[in-house]
Amino acid sequence: MPRFGDRPISCSTTAEIALTDLRFYVHDLRLVTIGGSEVAVTLLEDPLWQSNEVALLDFEDGSGACINGTGQTNTVVRGHVPEGDYSGIRFRIGVPEDLNHADPLRAEAPLGYSVMHWHWRTGYKFLRAGIASDSDSFWMHLGSSRCEGTSSNVSSCRGSNRPLAELSAFVPGVDVVAVDLQQLVREIDLTDGNPTDCSSGPAESECEMPFRALGLDFETGEAEGPASVFREGPRE
Amino acid sequence: MTGLKVAWSLAIAAAVAVAAVSVLSSRDYQWTLPEGVPLPVVPADNPMSNTKVELGRHLFYERGLSVTGRTSCATCHIQLLAFTDGRGRSTGATGETHPRGAMTLVNVAYAGRLTWANHLLDTLEVQALTPIFGEQPIEMGMAGREEDIIQALRDDEYYAKAFRAAFPGDQDPLSILNVVRALASFVRTIVSFDSPYDRYLRGDNGALGPEQVRGMELFFSERLECFHCHGGFNFTDSSTHANSLVQSVGFHNNGLYNIDASGGYPSDNTGLYELTGERRDMGRFKAPSLRNIAVTAPYMHDGSIETLPEVLEHYARGGRVITDGPYAGDGSRNPYRSEFVRGFELTTEERADLLAFLESLTDQSVLSNAAWSDPATD
């Protein structure tokens, strides 16, 4: 559920801040038991949104400020876990490495969308997020950087750039995961009339702040800690 | 002779085996290349065929592949200008200015890497996705609209038929995969080896005048060093072909900028540095082919040099001086400048000879060959 601080936010939010885009991939989803052990969630396959390795969440509905959006949305990741007492959730944002550099022209859902692939960079846009006020805006496209090899045979990307989400008070069935975009822009002045954008290039200094909010070390691309943009929230 | 016969019979056996599984799979495209010119690399999963090339020609000129319905590939790749657009920086369908200029497509089948500064991009099929779907900047503006493209092609009588003919083995031939395969196949056919220079190499001593021959000798001299980056059969060190054992890939800083005396380039055009973040890659761009260079002004990745005489001046000085404004600096002192851009002195006559040689690299047939023209004018 997208939020801006305490408020829900959508493409059609009229008060101050509106969503312009929010789509991201989730993989490596685990629940944490009360005893502290991790249990992997088996993702259900879906013709549009999920394979057994990765899910695409899409919160923009193409209305209002989401001028480049699509009508379809997907706000739920569906999967199975053994019955148990769970009190936490962990997941990674992004596409797993083995799928990230496969031929995008032959990719199946949820990896077959032109808008989520970074053709000239190779690999996928792990996350597209944007917000706008009347006078200012911010957007970011997150993906792996500093890749080597060639598009048909990428050997490695030194900037993995896959954030880690970790919510230690998440109760499945009771809580939902909230995406707080205010956290993403917490260090960015959204009133100065200077639009800010970040497309994960290694030389883009404007990326340092949103990377920190995502728990990523901008220099190494590693997740140093959990992304502060994700938190548990009550079902509404 | 015996060896040759064996090879042929093997080839026939292979062709029969292929025909048995895919009866209509047409691989009838014939390259027409002068003797000694190697075949370009063609991906194994996208073999050439006449029907595919012809479909690709239609798609290349298809304005329906843009969000406004007014821009096609040919908008920025104009045949009369050797498939460039005469602008320093190209303009996308929605009016956005690209940081860089449209590169020529002539002999792009032989390019080791594609576009101005990308060490990753090596196949035309993948490259074709960027102008169609790219968002930074917007070129054709079709990001997220692949279903619209497919539907429009399906609704068109010519395309519905042409895709079936070009991809006879496919259950569902109308796909983005096949759009870019056809486009890549067409673009691969744009080959040029019939400039006066090529004819001179093939033994036609009259093809070049004496001033052009003198200019050629200068071009290939250690004194000028041009050929280190603009060398080989395609006048670029980023060339490959079907028989090459190693891929040659080169990116060079040619001293166009030196912002703040620390080697910097304008932030929207930092070359390979944009992708690698390594300071040593600042300002490194691919050396473009010099074929048809006389008709592809303005020059450099950002069109910042208008004419060929000014290009020669730039290299003679070993870098450009910008005296004021945000880009001020002496490019000849750029710490990342290529070792081959060192400057040289030219007499007035030598300058004229060199320009005459560069003009001999224009292949007039490229600019008018009907096989690459807009099907609407057929």
B35 inside domain:
no
Q: Greater confidence, A152 or A91? A: A91
**Are both B295 and B184 inside the same structural domain?**
no
Structure tokens at B128: 């074709």
Q: Which of A68, A69, A105 sits opposite B125 (nearest CB)?
A: A105
B372 inside domain:
no
* Domain total of chain B: 2
Contact A91, A165 (CB under 8 A): yes
Q: In chain B, whose CA is at the least distance from the CA of A69?
A: B144
CA atoms A98, A103, A106, A107: torsion sign: positive
pTM equals 0.91
B315 inside domain:
yes
Last residue of a domain, one of B134, B156, B191: B191
Range of the domain at B261: 196-365
Q: Render pLDDT for B255-306 as a digit per residue (tens, 0 to 9).
A: 999 998 999 999 999 999 999 999 999 999 999 999 999 999 999 999 999 9
Contact A143, A161 (CB under 8 A): yes
**Are both B130 and B276 inside the same structural domain?**
no
Which chain A residues touch B if contact means CB-CB below 8 Å? 68-70, 104-106, 113-115, 117, 119-122, 141, 145-152, 154, 199, 201-203
User: Given phi > 0 = left and psi -120 to 50 = alpha, else beta, which region is A60?
Assistant: beta
Question: Measuring CA to CA, which residue among A121, A124, A30, A128 is closest to residue A70?
Answer: A128
B126 touches chain A (CB under 8 A): yes
**Are both B173 and B81 inside the same structural domain?**
yes
Residue A184's pLDDT band (boundaries 50, 70, 90)?
Answer: very high
pLDDT at B9: 30
**Are both B62 and B172 inside the same structural domain?**
yes
Last residue of a domain, one of B191, B210, B243: B191
Q: Which of B125, B127, B144 sits opposite A70 (nearest CB)?
A: B144
**Are both B252 and B270 inside the same structural domain?**
yes
B29 inside domain:
no
User: 3-class SS at B177?
Assistant: helix
Residue B6's pLDDT band (boundaries 50, 70, 90)?
Answer: very low
Percent of chain B beyond pLDDT 70?
93
Contact A233, A1 (CB under 8 A): yes
Last residue of a domain, one of B175, B191, B207: B191
Length of chain B: 378
**Are both B210 and B82 inside the same structural domain?**
no
Q: Render pLDDT for A6-36 as a digit per residue (tens, 0 to 9).
A: 889 999 887 788 999 999 999 999 999 999 9
What's the CATH number where B259 sits? Answer: 1.10.760.10
Q: Render pLDDT for B346-362 as a digit per residue (tens, 0 to 9).
A: 999 999 999 999 999 99
**Are both B204 and B271 inside the same structural domain?**
yes
User: 3-class SS at A198?
Assistant: strand
Structure tokens at B241: 């072909």
B22 inside domain:
no
**Are both B204 and B292 inside the same structural domain?**
yes
Task: Write down the domain spans for chain A.
Answer: 2-231
CA atoms A145, A149, A153, A158: torsion sign: negative
Any idea of the CA torsion for A200, B100, B257, A144, to the nearest 10 degrees?
20
d(CA B74, CA B318): 35
- Give mean pLDDT, residues A117-127: 94
pLDDT at B176: 96
Q: What is the mean pLDDT of chain B?
A: 91
Structure tokens at B364: 């007039």
B116 inside domain:
yes
pLDDT at B206: 97
